[in-house]
Amino acid sequence: MKVVITGGGGFLGNQLARKLVERGSLCGISGQAETIDELVLFDQMIAPQARKGLEESASFVEGDIADRELIFSLVDRDDLSLFHLASVVSGEGEQNFDLAMQVNLKGGRNVFEACRVPNSQPRVVFASSVAVFGGRAMPSVVGDTTKPAPQTTYGVSKFMCELMINDYTRKGFFDGRAARLPTIFIRPGKPNAAASSFASGVFREPLNGVPCDLPVLREQQMPLLGYRNAVECFIRLHEADPAQLSDDRAYNLPSTTYSLHEMIAALERVAAKHGITLGPINDAPDPMIQKIVATWPTTTDSSRGLALGLPNDVSPDQVVEDYIADFLKQ
């Protein structure tokens, strides 16, 4: 089978690609494990570091997701699965509405239209977000049946794509599933334009011995999921039997709510265990970031996802341990 990952140059898309190479197979249209004989990573730009170690196992395509002809060229087999992770992130979307609509909405529709494969129903997994929820009437705990009321352009574009996933699936065009991501941590590298970037930075920068400027209050709570389990959730949601899925194909991924105080405490526990001297964490309030984050849910109900076998983290300490093993000890 062929697997295409849009956003393959990004952190999660790249980690997903490496996991699929390690597995070598995926449950596809047949309902059985199928050998992955072609893996394509697509993104606007795929850096050398993202290609490293995948040169023999994958091909790389760079371009604009709004380029309909290019996206259609990626879907050239009946036995295909596609993971759609490419996206303008939250903070960038608030600053550039037109770009967010061009990439997230037009690009998403290009991907979904390309997957309308005659005589086949490819499985399509879309990376959505808990940012689809929001508003003054948002309950303290949001579940899959909570009415979405996004308060950011990013959240709006994600919800619109969720609706398309449901309708394209209802029409029999493909077999779609949407994974509503909480904040994923710990991402390596440099901060990006996501409003939630600090949730990785508060671990990453101190572990690397450099200062971290914290743009939100330490009392701020948010639902978190470690990057290893996020990748596993994508795969398990893809492999779920269609008979197990409901008409609403959007699933909150499992998460646990932590405050910044609790996140920093976990960091300090693990750092002490490994004898790591941490860089300082400085309070540097950013009203725009605080405003965006305040619109997001702090606790999610992921019971539907858990019933499908989607995994959650044991503790934030374990995610810090994973990050040290995967990215600091290289």
What's the rounded Cα separation, in Å, for the pair 198 and 220?
12
**Local structure of 37: helix, strand or coil:** coil
Residue 252, Ramachandran bin (φ over 0: left; ψ between -120 and 50: alpha; else beta): beta
Find the radius of gyration of the CA atoms of the chain.
19
What's the rounded Cα separation, in Å, for the pair 42 and 60?
6
Catalytic: 258?
no
CA distance readout (Å), 175 to 11, 23, 31, 162 = 25, 22, 12, 13
What's the rounded Cα separation, in Å, for the pair 120 and 81?
11
Sequence-separated (6 or more) residues with CB below 8 Å from residue 318: 226
Catalytic one of 154, 227, 251, 323: 154
3-state helix, strand, coil in the chain (%, to 5): 40, 20, 40
Residue appearing with tokens 């029409």 = 171
Q: Are 319 and 185 in contact (CB under 8 A)?
A: yes
What's the rounded Cα separation, in Å, for the pair 167 and 113?
12
What's the rounded Cα separation, in Å, for the pair 152 and 98?
13
What's the rounded Cα separation, in Å, for the pair 313 and 146?
23
Residue 155, Ramachandran bin (φ over 0: left; ψ between -120 and 50: alpha; else beta): alpha
Which residues are known catalytic residues?
A: 154
